[in-house]
Each structure stands twice: as structure tokens, then as C-alpha cells.
Structure 1
Amino acid sequence: MIHNADLRSLNTLRLPGVADAFASFASVSELLTLLDDAERLGLGIKVLGGGSNVLLAGDIHALVIQSAMTRVQVLSQTDAVVRVAVDAGKVWHDWVVESIACGHGLENLALIPGSVGAAPVQNIGAYGVEVAQCLESVVGLQLSTRQLRVLSAGECGFGYRDSVFKRELSRDFVILRVVFRLQRVFQPELSYGPLRQWADNMKAESSDVTPAALIREVCAIRSSKLPSPAEIPNAGSFFKNPVVPTHMGQALKARYPALPVYPQADGSFKLAAGWLIEQAGWKGKWLGNAGMHTEQALVLVTNGQASYGDVTALKDAVIRDVAERFAVVLEPEPQPF
């Protein structure tokens, strides 16, 4: 256990903050010992994943814990499906790359920053795929009861960038392991325009769309749009793509024909937040030590010297200007920590 631990390097926006204590755990028994230690010290518990979806709001008066468990275990397989348990501390992208040796379905989620344990919290998604589609269950420890729980995919309450772990179980659950249900037969999801064009080009060149090739292309697309947190502090896509009622989506599309809209099953429309932010004049614009990226207006970046206040001021300004122009209220993806 490290006391007075500096957390700047443990969040991808590089926001400053010191925790009363920090510790990683490599087993359930180590986790339980840490919970006992925290109780003895009078400290609460906060769980940190890869730090790519949090807003560090200053000093943390708690014991911050992080999983160092990284085992991958094939549980069972049939001709159609492979079930694989992956520990929460595994780096998400590393697992996606390794997953194709077991089965398929996660390829479009390559290069998303963070850990396996954090993926269900946000129900991460990209290019037509959400992690919920390939998830069977989540295993974890409920802090209030000290009991292990297994939540089925249905019990996780998945929604668009949402889950029970952000609501009812927020701050009361430590994800230890995620069980994935992968398909044995590779059926690539190519509904996203650039991926569909790439696949068409591959076929024209008599080349196969393989799982490894799809991962490489997803990485190339993401790298062209999103800066690496190792090079420019950021938390990836900062705002959710807003979902609006049918009449509002139709009216906005009629008024702004270039606005990308995505019809949903219930008749509502999902709008491209990046386009709204760019049209509101924030692409490449800075406010103090934080700004919206020059290549992708959806990505909030910092110069490495930003505070929580800097990020909040920019976030509020973007939300205000988009709401004033389009009557659409943006919602941030990263959560205050």
C-alpha cells in the first residue's frame, strides 16, 4: 500500500490528485486484506481501472484500488461458441488481440484504452459493436456485503455507454472477471462506412478480410481520428452521441442536411456529437489548459497541466454552445472520480 499516492500518471487526462492510499491486488484474498486495512484506517474504497474514463476531481480521501489480475481462461467451447473468462486487470486492447485465437466478435473494439474490468462499466463500443454483445457475465465482489456475485448480461442493465455498474452498483462493486461468449465462425461487422469501404477494396484485390486484418484496420482508423493518450493527454471520445426523439431528429436533419444521423430501433435518432461540437466552433479551440482536438472535435485534450476545473470549464462551455445552437444537450462520457 502506498500512502499519499500521486494519481496523475494513472489517469489518461493527466489531471492532478493525491490519494490517501493506493494499492493493487493480484488475488481475491489480497483484495479482502486491503478492504480490512482500509476499514482499520477509516478509509473508503474507490476502484480505478485503466484511468481512461475518469475525471480526477482533486485529492481522494480513500484507498484507491486497482486490479493486477490478468489471467485468461477458456471455460468451455462448442462448434459455435467459446466461453472465455478474463481477469479485470488485463489491458483491453491486449485481450482483443489475443481473443481471435479463441473466437470472434471483439475485433471492432481494438485500441480502446482501459482495462477489461472497466469495459462493462461503460459498455464500451465502436464501429457497430458494443461489448455487451459478446459478454455473458461479470464476476465481482460487492463491497457492502463482502460477497462474490455473478451478474448475467441481462442483470448488468446495459444501455448506450451505460450499465448497472454506473448506477445501482456504483462505488459498491469491484469487477474481478468478465466472461465473454465468442463466436467460432468469423462474421465481421462492417456496417461502419470506412470499414465497409476497406472490405470492398480488400475483395477487389482478392484479399481476405481476416480477424487480424480487421484489427489492424480498426487500429489504423482509430489512430487517424483519436490521439494516443501516451502522446496527448485525453480520455478518448469525451461526449456521448446524443439520442433525440424522432421529430427532433427529422427537424435537425432537414435544417442541417450534412448532420450525420443514425436511426434507432425505437424510431429515435442518434446524432454525431463531434459534428455538433465542430459546427459550434470548438474543433481545435482551447480554453486555458484544455481544448477540443484539431482532428476530432469529440476528443477533449489537455497540455498535461490542466486541472479538473480547466476540464470542467471547457466541458460546460461546449455543452452551452451546442445547446444554444442546436437545442441538444451533450452528456460527458468520463465520470468524476
Structure 2
Amino acid sequence: MKIQENISLKPYNTFQIDKKARFFTKVKSKEELVEAIEFSKTMNIPLLFLGGGSNILITKDVFALVVKIDINGIEVTKENDDHVWVRVGAGEIWHEFVLKAIQNQWAGIENLSLIPGTVGASPMQNIGAYGVEIKEVFDHLEAINRGTLKSELFDSQKCNFGYRESIFKNKEKDNYVITHVTFKLSKKPKFNISYGAINETLKEMGISDDQLNIKAISDAVISIRESKLPNPKEIGNAGSFFKNPTISSEQFEELKKQYPDIPGYSQETGIKVPAAWLIEKSGWKGKTFGPIGVHKRQPLVLVNYGNGDGETIKALAERIQKDIKEKFNILLSPEVNFI
């Protein structure tokens, strides 16, 4: 394990924020990860773990050992007539794994194409898109306990998945580091094309019902995402900045009197309202403030057009939250973690 000092984190976060890490290392195995944790204890400094850097906003220099998780590998550990179990290293790029699954005709994650980040972050965030969430294809994960330095297994129940949530974002936050995730994927796909514009996009692509397959769905999702979302390699961003809020049916009906066009989707806990609609309705879409702003095509995405600062992006997010709260009495919660 090689430790570097005073390293810029700009290449390691999709917002492209140029802040420095006091110490920095990349780990490629469980053993190197344990070494890194032991180093931090010896030096008495905090740890910050990075995957793809797509769910963080760095607001200042980081006095910590920043550990880039580069644990790779994709292997089939079990299969039967209906399913295949695939163990994947936490450092694998999520979208590349999706493409590998499609190539092998493993179904279940095609709707999650082009989501930025790494495999290790996928259960932590319970990532989801176009009607599919990770918890639907998740079998178990392996994680190093930062206290005992032992590897532990977590099944779906232990992960306590919620909307963009898991036990690793609340009760067990900072207590574990995910090293491998095992997915249960299907050999007999059940196509999910009812959400968003997938069906419409498939028709535009000339895909008929008898031609439908997981690659076509993936291609449609990629097309939709590329038409709405900026490429982080070209414009710094972390994808969706805010979660879609869920409000009571009573509050939704009251808002509908004032805003008849407000969209809402029934959930077990209430009505989910698209955060993008709230932000656009409030006039934030496309607004720029020097080198930062709200994306012109997708108001859910805050962007760094170049040399933007994490503190100013955070301040913009807080202004949007305050405005939405005042207009709709809805508090938006960030998906992005502030560092």
C-alpha cells in the first residue's frame, strides 16, 4: 500500500472540486484496506472512502486518509436454471458491470444503465432508476468492520434498504467498508418498461414487442439519460442532487388546489412528488451563478461549469431548499453527501 501526501482530489470526484487530501491511497484488496485502516489509527487521523466520487460534494481540504477503493473482479459463484449469482468487487465501475451483465444475458439491472459511481456504492445508496432499485437484485455483500477489521456478511434484511437509503447511511454509518457485492440476476428476464419514457423511446428506436430484450432497454435508458443529464467528464456534477420527497395525501391535495399540474405518485407512505418539478416550478432551472448553477435540461442536477467551489454549490443547494420550503412547505433532502 502506497501512501501519498497533499494530493488533489479533483480527479476523484465527479463535481471536479479541486481540494486536497492530507493523505491518499488506493487499495486493491481486503488486506490493503485493513492496512489503510490500521495506518489511520496509528496516525490518529480520520478516514474518507471514495468509490467513483459521484455522490459527494467536497467543500474544503480533507484532513484525513482518503482511500480510493479499487477492489475489482466479476465472478459467477452459483447458478441454476433461472438465476445467476455474481460476486463483484466494490471498485468496479457500475455501468461497466451493467454492460457485462447485458453481454452475458443476465437480466435485472438494465434499467440502471449509465448511473455513475462504483458497485460498492450501489447498495449503500440503494441506487434506483426507471422503476428498479438495487434491493430487487441484491443477494448479499461483504464489508470490513472498521473496529474489528474482520469481514462480515450482510443480506438484504440486515442492509435495511429504504429509498436511497441503507443501514450504511444511518445506523452503521462509518462503521463498515463494503468490499464485494453479490447480485442475484435472472436468466429469464421480466422487462420493466412502464416507467418514464422507456416505452416511448423504444418505439422511437423501432423496437417492437417481439424484439424487446435487455440490451434494447439499456440502450433506451442510456439515450434518455444522455438527453437529460450532463456528462460529468464534461460538466462537473453528481447526478441527482436531491431526493424526491414523499408527502401526505392531505398535503398533496392542498397543493393540487394551488398547482393543478403538480405530479404525484402513490407510495405506501404517501405521495412522492418529483423534486425536479418543484425546482423548475420555482424558477431555478438553467440559472447560473458564476461558474456554478442549475442544469438547463435537468433542474435536479447542480453543476460546476469550471473552477467552482464546493462551499458555493452547497450554499446554492441551501437556497433552493429554503425556496421550496417557503413555496410548497416541502423540505428537499440531498442525495449527495457533503464532505
What is the TM-score of this pair, normalised by structure 1?
0.96
What one-letter code is carried by the residue in structure 2 that aligns with 1:99? A
Query: Alignment partner of 1:237: what SS?
Result: coil
- Equivalent of residue 195 in structure 1, options 175, 195, 198: 198
- Equivalent of residue 68 in structure 2, options 58, 62, 66: 66
| Mapped partners of 1:241, 1:218: distance in 2 | 19
Q: Which residue of 2 aligns with 1:4?
A: 6
Query: 1:200 Cα deviation (Å)?
Result: 5.2
- Equivalent of residue 212 in structure 1, options 201, 204, 215: 215
Query: 1:38 Cα deviation (Å)?
Result: 2.4
Q: Specify whether residues 288 and 147 from structure 1 end up closer, same or farther in structure 2 by C-alpha distance, changes over 3 A only.
A: same
Structure 1 alignment gaps of length 5 or more: none
| Mapped partners of 1:265, 1:38: distance in 2 | 43
| Mapped partners of 1:161, 1:205: distance in 2 | 33
| Mapped partners of 1:9, 1:227: distance in 2 | 17
| Mapped partners of 1:145, 1:125: distance in 2 | 32
Q: Is the contact made by 1:143 and 1:172 (CA closer than 8 Å) also made in structure 2?
A: yes
What one-letter code is carried by the residue in structure 2 that aligns with 1:139? E
| Mapped partners of 2:207, 2:25: distance in 1 | 52
Structure 2 alignment gaps of length 5 or more: none
Q: Which deviates more, 247-256 or 22-31?
A: 247-256
- Equivalent of residue 94 in structure 2, options 92, 102, 106: 92
Query: Alignment partner of 1:317: what SS?
Result: helix
Query: Alignment partner of 1:251: what SS?
Result: helix
Aligned-residue Cα RMSD (Å) equals 1.6
Q: Specify whether residues 336 and 51 from structure 1 end up closer, same or farther in structure 2 by C-alpha distance, changes over 3 A only.
A: same
Q: Specify whether residues 312 and 203 from structure 1 end up closer, same or farther in structure 2 by C-alpha distance, changes over 3 A only.
A: closer
Q: Which residue of 1 aligns with 2:19?
A: 17
Q: Specify whether residues 81 and 254 from structure 1 end up closer, same or farther in structure 2 by C-alpha distance, changes over 3 A only.
A: farther
Which residues in structure 2 correspond to 1:1-337 (within 5 Å)? 1-100=3-102, 101=104, 103-199=106-202, 205=208, 208-266=211-269, 268-337=270-339
Query: 1:37 Cα deviation (Å)?
Result: 2.4
What one-letter code is carried by the residue in structure 1 that aligns with 2:66? V
Query: Alignment partner of 1:306: what SS?
Result: coil
Q: Is the contact made by 2:23 and 2:66 (CA closer than 8 Å) also made in structure 1?
A: yes
Query: 1:257 Cα deviation (Å)?
Result: 2.4
Query: 1:211 Cα deviation (Å)?
Result: 1.1
Query: Alignment partner of 2:277: what SS?
Result: helix
State how many pairs are aligned.
336
What is the TM-score of this pair, normalised by structure 2?
0.95
Query: Alignment partner of 1:84: what SS?
Result: strand
